[in-house]
Amino acid sequence: MRRMFGSIRAKATLGATLVVAVALVAAGVAVLLSLRGNLSDQADADADNAARQVASQIAARTPYRDLDLPDSEDHPVQVVDKDDRVLAVSEDLEAIQGTGAEGVKPVRNPGAHRDDDEGDDPEVGEFGDVTRHSTGSATVDGDEAAYRFAEVEVSDFRDETVLVYAGAPLEAQESAVGTAATAMLIGLPALLLVVGGTTWLVTRRALRPVEGIRAEMAAITASEDLSRRVPEPDSHDEVARLARTTNETLTALEASVERQRRFVADASHELRSPIASLRTQLEVGAAHPELLDVGGAVEDTVRLQQLAADLLLLARLDAGERPGEANLDLAAFVREEVSQRSGDRLPVEVAVVAGAQLAGSRSQLGRVLGNLLDNAQRHARSRVTVEARAEGTRAVLTVADDGDGVPAQERERIFQRFVRLDDARSRDDGGAGLGLAIARDVVERHGGRLTVAESAAGGALFRVELPLA
């Protein structure tokens, strides 16, 4: 149950139903109030007409006993003076409330008739507009009902001001409002049921691809098979974009895992050779000290140490290690790095232009220049050249040799890890194939790029471009 109501589909259905319920209740109340107001206005108008008809008779100086009053059930009438004495009421009116005077028995001889000397054509008096409306009740022949009363002031044949109350029944209003309210009470739950069911079905259909994505991701997690992909719906909505993004993430994750697997396999293979060689030499030395090749053991140890350092740096780069923010003078940096090299097979010619400032890790950029120089030393015939200068907003560092160069179709592959173009070259001479891969990774993490082309002497020209500080 908790899982059901915790789902997006249940929340969407409940939310939509609540919103529609609030809207319908508000609309229903507004309709009922409007209907009640309109019917009340009609009752007021009906009561106004009845009150004016009686008032016009009184204004014409008609005695109260001669008034032509409407039927009590349709329009109960009550005429009172300023002292709330009842002067006239409709026939069969047994009780009245809401007019201000509850009496239904007229007083005796309130001026029963006008004087005879007034003539046959008496002057018609004046009566005013409806002064107020009120809601009350009247009992006629034992039946009590609700009425809307109108009040009119008028001068009678005695020139006294009296009040005429005439009512209009509210039965039609109550019946219409009651019918509308009943219809709403019946229709509202049915409509909410339709809205809830429709929302449930629509969200179920809309979220079905999401459930497919979730199920496939669960299966991928359980099987650890990163070659699988989640289904992509044909729609162009957010769910389809989610599926595409998920598949792109899986593709990147698969490539990363595969790269790590290859890295571990290659690293194990590269480490096996110097470790095995070193172990053999130590075992021979232990059995026959006179045969111990100390120089070879030292070389294997150095190569093993360099390989371990390269692998450690690659691991840090893959983990997202950010370069430092030290400021470097490019010309001074190149001169210092070249001057610290010893044991190079060929001298390194340096041509630098002062003024270029870099921001980055000195140790990592030093590794880049060292790896490029090591590569040039292995392939050059007679010379290695290093140049450094500023070009616009970039600092440019080039390392060139006069060796055989790099074929155009291989100029990207050489930056892959553990790649050697000359497979016949020994590992001792050719290295592990990590130097150029490390150099490119470091340069790219410094916001630059590393490319290879042909030098003026026909060999390889490695060009490093880095943003100026």
What pLDDT score was predicted for residue 423? 46
The predicted pLDDT at position 65 comes to 84
- pLDDT at res. 119: 45
Query: Residue 141: what are its φ and ψ, rounded to 5°?
Result: 55, 40
More confident residue, 264 or 167: 167
In angstroms, the CA 338 to CA 388 distance is: 12
How much is the pLDDT for 422? 58
Phi first, then psi: give them for residue 120, nearest 5 degrees. -85, -15
Domains and CATH numbers, the chain: 1-224 (no CATH), 238-318 (1.10.287), 326-467 (3.30.565.10)
Average the pLDDT over 114-121 and give the result: 47
Pairing of strands 348-352, 384-391: parallel
Mean pLDDT (whole number) for 16-21: 85
CA 451, CA 414: separation in Å to the nearest integer? 10
| pLDDT for position 463 | 95
Residues 6+ apart with CB under 8 A from 167: 47, 50, 75, 76, 77, 136, 138, 147, 148, 149, 150
Two structure tokens written together for 135:
């809601």
What does the pLDDT average to over 291-310? 76
List residues bridging with 149 in a β-sheet. Answer: 134, 167
pTM over 0.85: no
Q: Averaging pLDDT over each range in 86-95, 368-377, 427-436, which range is the top one?
A: 368-377
As a whole number of angstroms, the distance between CA 218 and CA 167 comes to 77
Please, what is the average pLDDT of the chain? 82
Inter-residue contact 280 to 264 (CB < 8 Å): no
Lowest-pLDDT range, 220-224, 368-372, 435-439? 220-224
Q: Long-range contacts: 441-444, Cβ < 8 Å, 24+?
A: 441/314, 441/317, 442/317, 442/323, 442/361, 442/364, 442/365, 442/367, 442/368, 443/368
Residue 421, pLDDT score: 67
Give the pLDDT score at 350.
92
What pLDDT was estimated at residue 428?
47
Q: What is the pLDDT of residues 170-226, one digit of tens each?
A: 887 778 888 888 888 888 888 888 888 888 888 878 777 888 888 888 888 888 788
Share of the chain above pLDDT 90, in %: 15
Please tell me the distance from the alpha carbon of residue 129 to that of residue 198, in angstroms, as a whole number: 56
Per-residue pLDDT band for 286 (boundaries 50, 70, 90) equals confident
Which is higher by pLDDT, 251 or 9? 251
- Contact (CB, 8 A) for 165 and 133: no
Residue 110 pLDDT class (50, 70, 90 cuts): low
Going from the C-alpha of 433 to that of each of 17, 291, 418, the distances in angstroms are 66, 32, 4
Tell me, what's the pLDDT at 427? 45
- Does the pLDDT value for residue 25 go beyond 60? yes
Q: What average pLDDT does this structure show over 456-464?
A: 92
Sign of CA pseudo-dihedral 173, 174, 179, 180: positive
Residue 33: per-residue pLDDT = 84
Q: Is 329 helix (H, G, I), strand (E, B) or coil?
A: strand
What lies within 8 Å, CB to CB, of 233 at 6+ separation is 209, 239, 240, 243
Over 70: is that where the pLDDT of 121 sits? no
Q: pLDDT class for 118, splitting at 50, 70, 90?
A: very low
More confident residue, 111 or 159: 159
Place 117 in a pLDDT band, splitting at 50, 70 and 90: very low
Contacts of residue 250, defined as CB under 8 A and 6 or more positions apart, other chains included, come to 220, 226, 228, 229, 230
DSSP-derived 3-state class of residue 436: helix
**Residues 420-426: what's their mean pLDDT?**
52
For residue 316, which of 363, 255, 369 has the smallest C-alpha distance? 363
458 closest CA partner among 386, 388, 389, 383:
383
Residue of 302 and 86 predicted with greater confidence: 86
Is the pLDDT higher at 2 or at 432?
A: 432
Average pLDDT, integer, range 146-156: 87
Is residue 460 predicted with pLDDT exceeding 90?
yes
Give me the amino acid identity at 106.
Answer: P
Tell me the two tokens of residue 46.
């009906």
* Residue 50, helix vs strand vs coil: helix
- Per-residue confidence (pLDDT) for residue 315, from 0 to 100: 76
